[in-house]
Structure 1
Amino acid sequence: MSRRTRAQAGGRAGVHTAPRHRKPVDNTGVIPQLAKAAREVEASAQRGKVSPSNRTKFQVIALLMREERAKAKESTELSEHDRAEALKRLDGLASILAKTAARDTSLISLLEPGAPVSEAAKALRKQMLFAGGIEMVVDEQPEPEAQAEKLPPEIAQRQVLPGSVKARTRSNPFLAPVLTSVNTTTPHYSRLSNWELLGPLLRAFETGAGGNAASMELPPAPRWDRISPPGQELMDHQARLLASVAEGHRAYLLADEPGLGKTAQALLAASVADAYPLLCVVPNVVKTNWAREVQRWTPNRRVTVISGDGQGIDAFADVFVVNYEILDRHLGWLTSLGFKGMVLDEAHFIKNLQSQRSRLVMQLATSIRSRVPGADPLLMALTGTPLINDVDDFKAIWQFLGWLEGDRPSQLLLDRLDETGLVPSDPGFLAAARQTVIDLGIVRRRKIDVAADLPAKRVVDMPVELDSDEGRSIRAAEAALVARLLERYRRMASAAGLEPGVVDLDRVRMIARQEVEESKASSTGASIFTMLRTIGAAKARLAAEYAGQIARSAGKVVFFAKHIEVMDAAERTFAENEISSVSIRGDQSPAARQAAIDAFQNDPSVQVVVCSLLAAGVGLNLQAASDVVLAELSWTAAEQTQAIDRVHRIGQEEPVTAWRIVAAQTIDARIAELIDDKQGLALRALEGIDTGEQSADSIQVDALASLLEAAIRGARRQ
């Protein structure tokens, strides 16, 4: 038998033959570390429970696989054989991850490129790279310009970068860690991990399980107010929330009714928590008011308002105010600035998690939580109406606050639910779960609950910015009116031999009275009457939108306007927003008027009554509401008082708030001040209160005199 035949026979008989020589498997580098970790996660899934630590490991494996695949494809140092071998091994790893995700479908969301990466995941990534032979791993901080590359293409192409932001980034390119509050908690296995929890959590609120009010327990108000600035005073319910912030709480769904000072509470909370820079995302209609409230409650802090493309903003400010509609243009630099706090006003605007608005807000919140290591950012969602359609509306706000991660509770909420000792099948779980979420930071107070804190009647100005073409036209018309008055004064002063720039108040008032009389005789031209009418029309939609927000938050609203076109525009806006309204006008029959009043007073579905200041300003009882919106300003203080007193009268059980919609940077703002000044006449005559001397002229004359005097002084300084 030949040697070859004997060898073959020996092989068949089980005799050992010399082994075939294969190229040894390369167990160096990152890929073997990934393979080992993937098998550990797969084994965890086979046992029926993927622990939080293994969920983190699963995500890191996916991240590093993408990096290794990109390296293998692009590297010029690998031979074609080595490249093919690396890609083959990565494909095998991908199959393991796919099988693991099939066993626990909640892992699929971690495979998405945009899935948030926790600090624990970043640390594990460094460990695995180090074990794979990479000695130094640096987390690169992208420049603001580069941030847009990570955004969806349709968003990235719209990004802008204000010049002052570049200056701020260059002056402080690093975000300092907050070493005093490093979070040392690590994900761990919970016996609730494999329970479906979101459904029971929402059902707990839908059924009102437990029956208690949805408001967390707050500390008592401090005896002394050491937070608000001089001249301002906190109410007890506001001070109690700030005491909670002082104790370290950092996430709130502040659902107080309108009129209870949510804006002030949020701004002072940022001061207490030192959550600067602070980002405030607000509806466009209240953007100007937020800037004013920052100056009012935290006067030592700089505020900047982001409009349009953001040119001219102060990137070194402490507080940044931006409206929802332009977030898509500014997301790149906003996510890289290093905010330590974020406030959402009218947070129900993000209720649709699929909308672009909601996705942008979530991306901002995620960046704020992750960019400053060790920081515990202040996150506040302000809304009197967290639920618009159904209890699912909670999901977006909870996710913003960090209580949910997709459709699963966050580690924080999971730990708190674990502490109850209950699972969804246990009696009492719903009540305990509802209270657990409330204690995470839900705060809800009604006017009637804090009536002792509030004055019986108050007027709150709500400035709005008219930044449309119509607004620019109004400001141009006002400038033309002032120029005309100034030229008339110069001619009069020259004829009287006065030195240029001298202010003669008697002549100023004489010209103002003359202008008012001429305006009354003619309804055309740039008169003060036509200007105020135009301003009222420009404010109509903004005023109606704000009234709609109040109606959804606190109930019925009385909406006052002077001109028929403003009432018409308001009613159209209410109809578009599916808010039921009735109206009271001068051309109605007595029967139609009474039908409208009865519907507003007695029909729960009627949310707003649109009233003419002249036709409905006296003689009506509208106590079903405790909120009044004054879309246009009155010509007398008494007219305004009469309108508010349609609500503030016998039978009213709640404090009354009148919201005056004021067009900022126009004559409208000056008229609002003059109306307040005129209130002093009644206080002095009827209540003996010394308020100082007031002009005996009409508000129209006072307003024109004020504008002319300011123009004369301004011209003198030039």
Structure 2
Amino acid sequence: MKLFPHQDIVLNDTYEYNRVAYYLDMGLGKTYVGSEKMWELNTPYNLVICQKSKIDDWVQHFNTFYDYTVVIYDKQPIEKIPEDSVLIINYERVWRRPELLKLRNFTMMLDESSKIKNEKSKQSKFILNLVAHNVILLSGTPTGGKYEELWSQLHLLGWKISKKLYLKQFVEQEWDELNQQYKIVGYKNVDRLKKKLRQYGAVFMKTEEVFDLPKDNHNIVKITGTKEYNEFSRHSIVEISGEELVGDTSTAKKLYLRQLAGVYNQNKLAYVKDLIDSTNDRIIIFYNFKKEYAALVEMIDKPISTVNGDLKDLTAYEEHENSVTLIQYQAGAMGLNLQKANKLVYFTLTDKSELFEQSKKRIHRIGQERPVFYWYLLTSGSIEWRIKDVLEMRKDYTDELFEEEEM
């Protein structure tokens, strides 16, 4: 396996470390860097924890480039783990395998290590209690725009600072009188945080530092709103398409506002239809809800590929230049290589900054030779504009962490 020069540099810079974090921007080949570091560490046992959708990709990678015994540790416990093996398991399953707590002399690699940002979740607690001799963390967006969510990863790297002290040193908090709790309003001592991260084996690298990728073009499209959206916004109740939507809680109201600005807005569906019909190039469309998927499939008369919680089929994308690929954020914002396409449409926006940042890199990555185009379809006067503002704001927080420390 031949590595790119930037991948060799990263490995050389961390050669002396047995706990590392490769926070490489999407498209820079974290998979190759992580697996090579694992091979260098050379422990009898290796454990890779990843998203369920990435298990097959990791199996193929190790079978192609290495001679490990690869075991999908997903369904049945194993009585005896063979040496020179790689166990691959997903985040949702790992905490149900208590026998792993007895494993010793192994290297643990977390693919998309931001998945343990909530240290109180069952899977995070379990992973933090594993007795790994070596640790490799991989992520393009380690904080999801929030530095407070980095603590559990720092703990695995060996920085045993308490969560309370970490927040005190690096996070600005104010007392929220209404909710009787502290809320995070900003960050401080960022240069010191970067220095500590490097001290504990973290490497940050952005794509533009390594490759001159084609220009990215962003188009915000104002979609005409609807009377139903305005009525629901005022009264928290509306009847549409024979269905009564009731926003009796803040969560329900937010959900229905997003759907009224999306799938229930015929103006937006019509715009997407026109956009699809205007080109014979591949188009990628990101969406959130099953109703959106059903509405999009019904109106598209071109070959369709799908990536969601129920189905992953990229056949049309691979075989047809005029295909439309529909991707649900949770299932496909991370890890897919879709640089055959250079056009991406956000039918609706996610409210998770990490998924938003990852989604953009599906087409703007190594191997892309054409300028890329993004369309953000935002219903006028809707919640979508605020979501976009928050996503962009969190991106700024993430970018600051990637910046080189000023001399």
- State TM-score, norm by structure 1: 0.31
CA distance in 1, matches of 2:57, 2:190: 40
- Aligned positions of 1:48-67 closer than 5 A: none
User: Of 386, 393, 399, which residue of structure 1 is paired with 2:155?
Assistant: 399
Name the counterpart of 2:129. 363
In 1, the alpha carbon distance for the partners of 2:270 and 2:211 equals 36
Instruction: Pick one of 312, 319, 326 that aligns with 2:86.
Output: 319
Contact 2:47 2:107 in 1 (8 A): yes
Task: Give matches, 1:114-263, under 5 Å.
Answer: 232-246=1-15, 248-263=16-31
The letter for the 2-side match of 1:337 is L
Residue 338 (1) aligns with residue 94 (2): no
Q: Cα offset for 1:393?
A: 0.2
1:655–1:438 CA distance, 2 compared to 1 (3 A): same
Residue equivalent to 1:279: 47
Deviation at 1:334, TM superposition (A): 1.7
Render the CA deviation track for 1:164-212: whole Å, top value 9, x for unaligned. xxxxxxxxxxxxxxxxxxxxxxxxxxxxxxxxxxxxxxxxxxxxxxxxx
In 1: Cα distance, 2:85 partner to 2:61 partner: 14
Residue 447 of structure 1: aligned partner: 207
Shift of 1:592: 5.3
Percent same amino acid among aligned pairs? Answer: 16
More helix by share: 1
Alignment partner of 1:437 out of 191, 197, 200: 197
1:395 CA displacement: 0.8
Distance in 1 between the 2:260 and 2:115 partners? 20
Matches within 5 A, 1:686-697: none
Structure 1 residue 279, shift from structure 2 partner = 1.3
Name the aligned partner's letter for residue 436 of structure 1. Answer: K
What CA distance in whole angstroms lies between the structure 1 residues aligned with 2:107 and 2:165?
Answer: 22
1:308 aligns with 2:75: yes
Contact 1:266 1:343 in 2 (8 A): yes
Letter in 2 for 1:632: L
Q: Within 1, Cα distance between the matches of 2:115 and 2:143? A: 10
1:576-591 paired onto structure 2 within 5 Å: 591=271
329, 336, 342: which one pairs with 1:647?
342
CA distance in 1, matches of 2:209, 2:5: 12
Matched with 1:634 is 316
Q: CA deviation at 1:306?
A: 0.4
1:493-642 matches, within 5 Å, as: 591=271, 593=273, 615=301, 631-634=313-316, 637-639=319-321
2:62 is aligned, of 269, 294, 297, to 294
Q: May I ask how many residue pairs the two structures share in their alignment?
A: 256
Report the Cα distance in structure 2 between the residues aligned to 1:588 and 1:431, rounded to whole angstroms.
Answer: 44
Q: Is the 8 A contact 1:581 1:608 kept in 2?
A: no
Contact 1:280–1:321 (Cα < 8 Å) also in 2 = yes
2:37 aligns to what SS in structure 1? helix
- Which sections of structure 2, spanning at least 5 residues, go unmatched? 167-187, 220-254, 278-284, 305-310, 326-338, 345-362, 370-407
Compared with structure 1, are the counterparts of its residues 334 and 353 closer, same or farther at alpha carbon in structure 2 (3 Å cutoff)? same
Report the equivalent of 1:190. none
Give me the whole-angstrom Cα distance separating, in 1, the residues matched to 2:136 and 2:52: 18
Q: CA deviation at 1:447?
A: 2.7
Shift of 1:648: 6.7
SS state of the match for residue 300, structure 1? coil
Q: Deviation at 1:359? A: 0.7
d(CA) in 2 for partners of 1:313, 1:306: 12
Distance 1:646 1:265, change over 3 A: closer
In structure 1, distance between residues paired with 2:59 and 2:91: 15
- Given that 2:118 and 2:124 are in contact with CA atoms closer than 8 Å, whether structure 1 keeps it comes out as yes
Closer, same or farther: CA 398–340 of 1 in aligned 2, 3 Å: same
One-letter code aligned to 2:191: A
Kept after mapping to 2: 8 A contact 1:345/1:382: yes
Question: Secondary structure of 1:329's match?
Answer: coil
More strand by share: 2
Matching residue's letter, 1:349: K
Tell me the alpha carbon deviations over residues 496-554 of structure 1, each in whole angstroms, 9 at most, x when there is no partner.
xxxxxxxxxxxxxxxxxxxxxxxxxxxxxxxxxxxxxxxxxxxxxxxxxxxxxxxxxxx
CA distance in 1: counterparts of 2:261 and 2:315, whole angstroms: 21
Structure 1 unaligned residues grouped into runs of 5+: 1-231, 369-376, 411-427, 457-554, 557-574, 598-605, 619-628, 659-718
SS at match of 2:48: strand
Q: Residues 405 and 245 (structure 1 numbering): CA distance in 2 closer, same or farther, change over 3 Å?
A: same
Structure with the bigger RCO (C-alpha within 8 Å, sep 6+) is: 2
CA 596–255 in structure 1, closer or farther in 2 if over 3 Å, else same = farther
TM-score (norm 2): 0.51
Task: Give the CA deviation at 1:389.
Answer: 6.2
The DSSP-based 3-state class of the residue aligned with 1:325 is: helix
Which of 116, 129, 132 is matched with 1:350 structurally?
116
Deviation at 1:343, TM superposition (A): 0.7
CA shift, 1:616, in A, is 6.7
